[in-house]
Structure 1
Amino acid sequence: MADSSGSAPSGATKPQAPPKPPNPVFKMMGLPNMRFKLPSRNWMIFLTITGSFAGAIWYDRREKRRAQQKWCELVSHLQDEPLPVEEMRRKLTVYLSAPPGDGLRTAREHFKAYVKPILTAAALDYTVVEGRREGDVRASTAESIRKFRRRAGEPSSAPEEEGVEAAILATRQHIGVRDEPGPKGDLVIGRHTWREYIRGLHEGWLGPMDAPAPPTEPTPEVVAEETLKDVASGDVPAEVQSNPDNSPQEKQDEAPKEDKKEEEKPAKPVGPTPAYISPVDYASAQLPRSIPQSFEASVPVEFPHILGFLNTPIRLYRYLNQRYVADSIGREVAALILANRTRPYRDGSSGADSQWTGADANLTPLGDDSASGFERSNFEQSAVLEEEEKDWHKSVYKREEGDERERVWLDDIVIDPRIASRMKLAVLDPEDEARSKRLAEEEEYILGRERPPPVSFWQNLWIKYGNGEDEETRRRKPIYGNIDEEDA
């Protein structure tokens, strides 16, 4: 009988090989035995999702920088133009306000991210008009126009300004400093700011110079005198007939009680300065003598902004596609800075292909009596950036009980033809549009300059995060001689 103890079982597996000893170098460094192997299924899913999202962000930010660089190079030649010492740099006006349902910080970040780099590249001066709540930009725009009318000699009972701005203006006039000749312009950010800008233009040019007197309530003495006159004439109210013993003196005694009840009511929300004129009075208002034949060019800039947790997919899509916003805003800002072409805003009588006019063209405005012959809803100004209203928070559309203030964001836009015909829109010249495409393809560079040689990736890191210097900085760096007269 054969001994089966020495024979191996048929189903036995082959013994595993002993693990490979770790690299002695890793062992001396105190590192574990690192084995290179494919990650597991769960790690592959995680790395794929995070890597794709990180790659989408990197690609979008790179294209965003390229788009901004293209428009910055298009206007950078303006900073090399000489300026006499007695002239101030051409200045633009930027209007921005807090978006509906959010704070002013969001609007400031939007301005710094998309608009300010191009203004800085052109070395232009600008004034920012901010609004923290609804109606602030409207009041600021109207007040600036009224100041212009006062300086033009229109009579007003308002006291003259004695602030810092007036002192600086008087000093510049005294020493002969003037503004740089050339077109200026207004840059309006967002649909909500555009609504207030249009309302402020109408209020400033069509409204009175002085604020209208607030409605006065009759005093108790006047009420008592009117009651006695009604009694003498026989027109006695029903309350007096039912209470013949109710004397005016008793009404005066009851007045403090009513005042106490009114004090207990919640106070109405405090808003900006009330408007000097209502939109229903535009047609009957007369144009002032100081109104120009055409206003400075204006450019509305988009401001995509949406709130809410349920809108996270939309917000995520916009976060990954900022390059399109940068390119669109850069084109509008560059058109206002270069100011080579403008066109009037279209009305219902003009077609889509309006003729372009030069920056120095004189637009023929409508007459003073032409306000009644146009459809107010046909003007292009009322439809500018209208798609942004769909993203406004629902709290904007709520009206509080007892709040009778004007809602510029919600009310219909009323446009007077005499004001609309004087407004101009800055557009990009076809030659500048073609040059911007050549700049994007690196076929051209800033006017009057040569494109610098390309810098390697590692050298760029050393310049940006290390102690290196680029060629432009090294060229502008002053070189001092042997000041101490020491031997080299």
Structure 2
Amino acid sequence: MGSASDSRLSKPIEINPAFRYVGIPSSWLRSKTFRLPSRKTSAFLLFSTSLVSLYVYDRNQCRKIREDCVQRVRRISEELVTDANGGVGWMPRSVKVYGARIPEDVEVDRAAQWFKKFIKPILVAAAIDYTIINGTSPGSLGRKIAGEIQAERVIQAAQEKDGIKNPQLRPGLPGYRDWHDKFVQPEGGTLVLGRASLKEFLWGIEKGFKEQIPLDGLDDDERFAQEINKEGIFEEPRSLEESDFGEHHLIPEGLRSVNEELKKAGENLDFENPTTPLFDQVSSQPSSSISLFSFFKKSVPSTPVVIPQSFQDEPRKLIGKHIPPQPPLLLVPFDHPIGIKWWPIKIYRFFNRREQAHRGAQAAMQLVNSNSQPIEPPSDITQTNHFSENFENFEDLDFSIKITGSSHLDFLTPKAERHIRSSYKKVAKNIMTERDAYRTDLKARLAKARELANSVENEAVLSEANGQSEVQLRQEAFQKEKKWKNDLEGWSIVRPGSKVCWDSDMIESLRVYSPSKEIDT
């Protein structure tokens, strides 16, 4: 019995040849402690290994695409830089990169990050300088573009009026870089990242060149402060002199009876045919009552005051001008969906980053080759608008996606606009509701602050009472009103279904880079 059991123990363990061909050592397989993983463990290892392999393969392909483009454009960085006239200079070619913020995106500069990851390495290898102009909120990029253009228009108008001409500067002199960028700007380029950036760019171009600029010496904040003052949100109640309660409160007790008699006497006077001496002492106010305060008011002169014609006219304005030729546009197909329902697309893009790298490489090669064509005008002009168009009724708007018939103006349509979160459609309505509630509450807070300011003479006592003064409330209201105005303006530009700004001058002033065929998929 013992010998039979010993022979069974000494019998070698049979090994599956498949394990030996895979490369697993036989000593591991003959070990008594070796066990194959369970079914669940095998599924987990297979799934995780597949994901890691897919991730590593995708990133390697991205690196190969980038390195291939870098090798193609490296020769450009070794060539001499020439201008339009054939002169040799030392300033590199410069382009501007416009990236608008995607509505309701937590990342402010997501478009700029995409540019730095997929396009920047190729531009650096080609010795092309770039300047990133990022929009921190919807509409802010368009306001930046329009503000820069209008500031340049004012400077040019002042120089033309005084007969000043900019002298030509040589390399190495102070201010040469700004001068060079200004005069060789049409030879550069403009990168527009995504659909929202295109909408804000066209809006800013049209507003910057076509809007009339008031020459009143005020900045935008001062003009906006005047606008909200005209709306009456800071209006004070009637002064104490004009209210019966105020007169009764200010007149001493010994003179209150005299004031009442004067009021009764004033009701019996005939203001159309004044015959009493009392009328000569009181300013002619046919529909007002006479009181004790009427004797202390200055009489209104009967001779009308002549206002000079220069003061009667409105402030002078710098009229709009023709849109001059702009640097060629490079429409970069950048898009980032927002919302839970787009998570499958985001997961797919995470493991297929080489598609984004290919798009960035194609865009960079278009910029390097510098082959441009005129922008395609819209076939349906009714699907475009102008910067001056605003919306008063934010509830009955059409959110259907507008198609203009132009491949350039319909860039990334309708995919990009569908990727905007649906809750963004209600932004304008929410802002209007919040603003109305705040204005109602502001009137009560202003009345309380004025009452507290009249009763408390020392400002230190007012601050200890945790009360806001009228100046602080005005500053708070100004900041909120300005933010709401900018948000509504940006919402009207980039909301789903908004029309693209278009002007007839853009047919001659805008060009678009042609697609490049050097990058194979």
Bin the TM-score by the shorter chain. 0.5 to 0.7
CA deviation digits over 1:71-120, x for unaligned, max 9? Answer: 33333222111248854222100011332222225333212211211211
The corresponding residue for 2:412 is 385
1:106 aligns with 2:110: yes
**AA in 2 matched with 1:72:** V
1:409 aligns with 2:437: no
**AA in 2 matched with 1:184:** G
**AA in 2 matched with 1:152:** Q
Kindly tell me: are residues 381 and 144 of structure 1, through their superposed partners in 2, closer, same or farther at Cα, counting changes over 3 Å? farther
Q: In structure 2, how many angstroms separate the alpha carbons of the residues matched to 1:383 and 1:327?
A: 22
**AA in 1 matched with 2:129:** D
Q: In structure 2, how many angstroms separate the alpha carbons of the residues matched to 1:325 and 1:202?
A: 31
Whether contact under 8 Å (1:376, 1:415) holds in the other structure is no
1:313 aligns with 2:344: yes
The corresponding residue for 1:90 is 93
- Deviation, 1:45, is 1.4
Kindly tell me: are residues 15 and 311 of structure 1, through their superposed partners in 2, closer, same or farther at Cα, counting changes over 3 Å? farther
Whether contact under 8 Å (1:75, 1:338) holds in the other structure is no
Q: In structure 1, how many angstroms separate the alpha carbons of the residues matched to 2:76 and 2:345?
A: 38
**AA in 1 matched with 2:416:** E
1:117 aligned counterpart, secondary structure = helix
1:336 aligns with 2:423: no
Kindly tell me: are residues 197 and 382 of structure 1, through their superposed partners in 2, closer, same or farther at Cα, counting changes over 3 Å? same
The corresponding residue for 1:322 is 353
Identity among equivalent positions (%) equals 21
**AA in 1 matched with 2:80:** P
The corresponding residue for 2:425 is 397
Segments of 5+ residues of structure 1 without an aligned counterpart are 1-5, 21-32, 158-167, 234-243, 250-284, 351-374, 441-488
Segments of 5+ residues of structure 2 without an aligned counterpart are 14-26, 83-87, 162-170, 215-219, 244-270, 273-287, 294-317, 382-401, 436-483
Kindly tell me: are residues 330 and 147 of structure 1, through their superposed partners in 2, closer, same or farther at Cα, counting changes over 3 Å? farther
**AA in 2 matched with 1:348:** S
Whether contact under 8 Å (1:94, 1:129) holds in the other structure is yes
- Deviation, 1:152, is 3.0
Of 319, 330, 333, 1:299 maps to 330
Indicate the larger mover: 311-320 or 207-216.
Answer: 207-216
Kindly tell me: are residues 17 and 52 of structure 1, through their superposed partners in 2, closer, same or farther at Cα, counting changes over 3 Å? same
What TM-score results when the alignment is normalised by the length of structure 2? 0.53
Whether contact under 8 Å (1:189, 1:303) holds in the other structure is yes
The corresponding residue for 2:188 is 184
Q: In structure 1, how many angstroms separate the alpha carbons of the residues matched to 2:358 and 2:500?
A: 31
**AA in 2 matched with 1:302:** P
Alignment RMSD (CA, Å)? 4.5
2:157 aligned counterpart, secondary structure = coil
CA deviation digits over 1:261-296, x for unaligned, max 9? Answer: xxxxxxxxxxxxxxxxxxxxxxxx97515x32x321
The corresponding residue for 1:424 is 511
**AA in 2 matched with 1:392:** I
- Deviation, 1:220, is 6.3
Indicate the larger mover: 77-86 or 58-67.
Answer: 77-86
Kindly tell me: are residues 68 and 35 of structure 1, through their superposed partners in 2, closer, same or farther at Cα, counting changes over 3 Å? same
Whether contact under 8 Å (2:119, 2:363) holds in the other structure is no
2:131 aligned counterpart, secondary structure = strand
User: Which of these two proteins has the greater Rg computed from alpha carbons?
Assistant: 2
Once the two structures are superposed, the pairs formed by residues 327-476 of structure 1 within 5 Å of their partners are 327-348=358-379, 377-386=404-413, 387-399=415-427, 400=430, 401=433, 402=435, 403=484, 405-406=488-489, 407=491, 408-410=493-495, 412-421=498-507, 422-428=509-515, 433=517, 435-437=518-520
Whether contact under 8 Å (1:74, 1:334) holds in the other structure is no
The corresponding residue for 1:63 is 61
Whether contact under 8 Å (2:189, 2:367) holds in the other structure is yes
Whether contact under 8 Å (2:109, 2:134) holds in the other structure is no
Q: In structure 2, how many angstroms separate the alpha carbons of the residues matched to 1:177 and 1:149?
A: 18
Aligned length, in residue pairs = 328
Higher-helix-fraction structure: 2
Kindly tell me: are residues 72 and 152 of structure 1, through their superposed partners in 2, closer, same or farther at Cα, counting changes over 3 Å? farther
Q: In structure 2, how many angstroms separate the alpha carbons of the residues matched to 1:60 and 1:339?
A: 30
2:117 aligned counterpart, secondary structure = helix
Of 33, 52, 74, 1:76 maps to 74
Q: In structure 1, how many angstroms separate the alpha carbons of the residues matched to 2:378 and 2:116?
A: 33
**AA in 2 matched with 1:412:** S
**AA in 1 matched with 2:95:** L
- Deviation, 1:130, is 1.1
**AA in 2 matched with 1:41:** R
1:128 aligns with 2:132: yes
